[in-house]
Chains A and B, each alone.
Chain A
Amino acid sequence: MTEDVGNGQAVVQLTAVRKEYGESVALDGVSLEIHAGEAVAVMGPSGSGKSTLLSMVAGLDRPTSGSVVVHGDDLGTLDEKGLALFRRRRIGMIFQFFNLLDDLSALDNVALAAQLTGTSASQARKRALELFEELGIAGRRNTYPSQLSGGERQRVAVARALMNRPAILLADEPTGALDTKAGEQVMDLLLDLNQIGQTLLLVTHDQQLATRCASRVIEFVDGQIAGERSLERTS
């Protein structure tokens, strides 16, 4: 599902990234690369810097020092508008608590991402419906988030993340708020996506999610990379 960058090329490059929040150091000289088609899981205890890393890659926050390059864009050189356009074109994000707009139907939540790029409402809904069908939730398209199950909400969130064909899909504890069955379904979905070429960066506490979906696991402790290992997928 990626474009421009072929498999094997670095989609994400972090070089000596440091992030401070006042006195505390969230990231301390982190350097890493993620290649096209990879599924990377970042693991570690609470406060180890996993989510901060995700924010850096998504352009939601800026490093105190160091550089972040995603799909050829040096995020340090982009202003607020540039970062917004970058996220729109290159990034898809899914969150532990879904972050869907309660006022919009499931379909409109997903279509919204395309409409922001200037796509007409009808085109956006058409593309959203295709994704709904691919993800098996077409029957729930006109339902509002509060009426969906956790797993369905996360599928809607995934559909929204994929709407603009992102270079990398970022997932922050995507199964953290789901029951076992729903979590399994989401894991399958992510695995499927990666198998058709979608680059993934997962932040998770869930060892099972990491081993099932990721080809590489990076361990974080106190804002630093404490270890890295490649995995054989269990599925």
Chain B
Amino acid sequence: MSAVWPVSRAAVRRRRIQTLVIGVVVLLSTTMIVVALGLLAASSGPFDQAYTKQHGAQLLASYDRTKVTDAQLTDAARSAAAVAGPFGQATVDVNTGGPATSLVLVGRADPAGTVDRLNVWKGRWADKPGEIVLNRNPTDSTGRGTPTLGSAMTVAGNNKLTIVGFAYSVSQSADAWVTPAQMTALKPTSTQMLYRFAHAATNAELTAGQNGVTAGLPSGALIGTQSYLALRAAAAGEPNTFVPFLMVFGWLGLAVAVLIVANVVSGAVVAGFKHIGVLKALGFTPSQVMVVYLGMVSIPAVVGCAGGVVLGNILATSLLTRAFENYGAEGIGVPIWVDVAALLGVPALVALSALVPALRARSLSAAQAISAGSAPQSGRALGVQRWLGGTRLPRSVSLGLGLPFARPGRTALTLAAVVLGVTSVTFAVGLGKSLTTYQTAASRVGAVDVTMFGGLKGNGPPPQGEGAPPVAKLTDAQDEALLRSTPGASSVAASAEVPMRMVGASTDLRVSFYRGDFQQVGFRIIEGKWFDGPGQVVVSERFLRQHGLAVGDTVVLQAQDKSVRVQIVGKALYNSGDEVLSNWQTLALVAPNQRASIYEITVKPGTDLDTYVSAVQAKDSGLLETDGQDAGSFVTIVLATVVLLTLMLGTVAALGVFNTVVLNTRERRRDLGMLKSIGMTPAQVTVMVVTSMVALGAIGGLLGIPLGMIAHRVVVPAMANGAQVEIPSFMLNVYPASLLALLILAGIVIAAAGAYVPARAAAHTTIAKVLHNE
């Protein structure tokens, strides 16, 4: 084989452009594949590892202490594989000198146990009353205002507790822990039980486990639960959003790479008949000739693949670290099997695509190869050429249109590359439109014309002195009346936001209580209905998924010392998993004296917003106009990624065309020289060569569009599922006829862009030598 290597290396050097094209295409597609597979493989890995290490609770349940005793709970828990509790639990107000907050506090004697083994990573566990341990991730930032070890905090009125340690619970079983004695003194309102079951891989198994441990308990005793599957899904939400479309782009990229490689090797074999003949005449065996041609593409493929693996690891690690920083994400990366699979699989795929033309080189006889010309055989699609020659089209155009028929195999490969490019563009455009439409609807951008801040939340004394924010001068009712009566107003919705907790869950909720024209502020109900009475809430898909709930379920919300049982009556389209919508009648059950803090106003067409705001502020200078809703950054990141990948794939497809045109013009340099010798201008040569590919582009557009639309239909719901949101079906109908017409242009643009540079080069080559020598 010693003779094969220098010949392969020389072939690589001789075909620098094709080598570069193969290397770049393989690099880009490998990068996408590695990122997608890396995210897929590692999307729940960090959470699972941390959960296993802590023996995390698979089900966290809160019980009403007035309805069930600790002994009953312990007795009922016998069906669980492991259990921790009962622990006293209370949601308490906290005063650390900053803004008022609340904590889910649990009384626990020690951090160990069979379930939820806490990692006390700083300080020690609380061993006497007056001490508290806070739940905090070691990787959380510790900026200004963050509680420090040894500092004191006042909870539940006047109970002063000293922070003696920081622990971390992956199960999110509490915000803080105290001794059981201290909890008794704080008067717990509920009892916490933590369970692990023999089978808990699915929601059904968890439900079965829950039914087992609650069997026989009094009705209404269970007031809240938290599933580890919901926490797991929340943790993997961001990577799972990226995986579907990265997979699509990755496979599309790889398919284009295979097509281009097949095209390059076929072209090299066709153009290199004489070279093959010479090699055989020198004594190369058929297999050695085949290896030369395989080696020619394998060298750039291996280099591109290695680069793609490195780049893919960097990108995937960055995404995973960002997604899993809460689970100790140091060292999270792409699993080694992904790298190995890519390093072996991609070059193997490339070599396989080169195999058929390489086998052709292998089977050629030396005499046949040496005597073969590089020009196409006659008789091929000649009727088309003749017909085109008789049309009224400029001759450079009609000649160009006929060129693809000279090499139908190459034309098919190039067409496939263009089809995949158009598929990518179609898919990306649809994805972008769906995401933008969703984001606009979900974030309510532009839904209201004016948003005014009405002053403080709650009813405390307004802050005094210089620098204190202005407050509304009028009462809540007077302000609403003022906003409604000011000329131009069309609708006014008032809202107050109250921080609350859902019993059984440790995450903070923001509950927005609405009155007035709340149906005009941009929320779209996608299941159930709007609230129309006290004790009703509307939530998001993400909220339901993260808490394992459904429309129709009832939950208990707590704020300060008040609890309210509410029913989920509807699901609205918005992103947040910790925001709950309710009405003023429900607020009256929690904070009856609360005033509205935000007024959202729509105005009649033609109303000048500045005039409206000025008129309002003339009567209440404390009402301030604030910025409306803005779109979140996540969709922007996804869109930027999609645009980047589309450009990459579009470029890859254009490189496929580029490669074909380079091969065609090299093979036809004699013909091009002749055409120039009889007076074809450089511009006509360029037109002829570009036209030969533009026709393919138009056909590629027609074929690629439906494929892109299918990919869009499959991927967008999968992304929504990963992101724990719901995309209504109307947001998938994003391809109007005008857009489809434009998308056909995408194929033409890809083809023209790929063909232009080699066409120009062909138009300006020196032709004298080509014509004088066979």
Which residues of A pack against B, CB within 8 Å? 51-52, 54-55, 58, 60-61, 80-81, 84-89, 91, 93, 95-97, 99-105, 108, 111-113, 115-117, 120-122, 125, 144-147, 160-161, 163-164, 172
Contact = CB atoms under 8 A, between A and B. Distances in A.
Interface string B360-399: 0000000000000001111111100110011110011001
Given A144-B378, A147-B378, 18 more contacts: A55-B768, A85-B679, A86-B679, A87-B677, A87-B678, A91-B677, A95-B772, A96-B772, A99-B674, A99-B771, A101-B674, A103-B378, A105-B386, A115-B389, A120-B392, A121-B391, A121-B392, A164-B679
B212 interface: no
A102 B677 contact: no
22 contacts: A60-B677, A80-B764, A81-B683, A84-B684, A86-B679, A87-B676, A87-B678, A95-B771, A95-B772, A105-B382, A105-B386, A108-B385, A108-B386, A108-B389, A113-B678, A115-B395, A116-B680, A121-B389, A144-B378, A144-B379, A160-B678, A164-B679
Interface string B167-179: 0000000000000
Interface in B221-262: none
Interface in B719-774: 764, 766-768, 771-772, 774
Interface string B666-699: 0000110111111111111000000000000000
B390 A88 contact: no
Contacts of A146: 377-379
B701 interface: no
B93 to A, nearest CB: 84
Contact of A117 (B379, B380, B679, B768): B679
A97 to B, nearest CB: 5
User: What are the 7 A-B residue pairs with the smallest beta carbon separation, nearest first?
Assistant: A88-B679, A55-B768, A146-B378, A84-B681, A115-B395, A99-B674, A60-B768
Contacts of A61: 766, 768
Contacts of B382: 103-105, 144
B418 to A, nearest CB: 22
Contacts of B379: 144, 146
B427 to A, nearest CB: 37
Contact of B771 (A60, A160, A164): A60
B665 to A, nearest CB: 14
B461 to A, nearest CB: 85
B677 A89 contact: no
A48 to B, nearest CB: 13
B577 interface: no
A225 to B, nearest CB: 20
Given A60-B767, A99-B670, A108-B385, A87 B679 contact: yes
B338 interface: no
B406 interface: yes
A116 B764 contact: no
B107 interface: no
B188 interface: no
Contacts of A51: 768, 772
B772 A102 contact: no
Residue of A86, A115, A116, A145 contacting most chain B CB atoms (<10 Å):
A116
A103 B402 contact: yes
Nearest to B676: A84
Contacts of A87: 676-679
Contacts of A145: 378
B679 A84 contact: yes
A88 B376 CA distance: 26
A99 B677 contact: yes
A148 B673 CA distance: 21
Contacts of B764: 80
A159 B197 CA distance: 92
Contacts of A54: 772
Residue of B673, B684, B774 contacting most chain A CB atoms (<10 Å):
B774
A161 B679 CA distance: 11
A148 B731 CA distance: 63
Contacts of B766: 60-61
B378 A85 contact: no
B1 to A, nearest CB: 37
A7 B768 CA distance: 29
A103 B675 CA distance: 13
A111 B678 CA distance: 11
Residue of A80, A84, A160 contacting most chain B CB atoms (<10 Å):
A84
Nearest to B766: A61
B742 to A, nearest CB: 34
A20 to B, nearest CB: 14
A3 to B, nearest CB: 16
B406 A103 contact: yes
Contacts of A84: 676, 679-682, 684
A172 B406 CA distance: 28
Contacts of A91: 677, 679
Contacts of A105: 382, 386
Interface string B557-585: 00000000000000000000000000000
Contacts of B678: 87-88, 93, 112-113, 116, 160-161, 163
Nearest to B406: A103
A85 B674 contact: no
Contact of A58 (B380, B396, B406, B677): B677
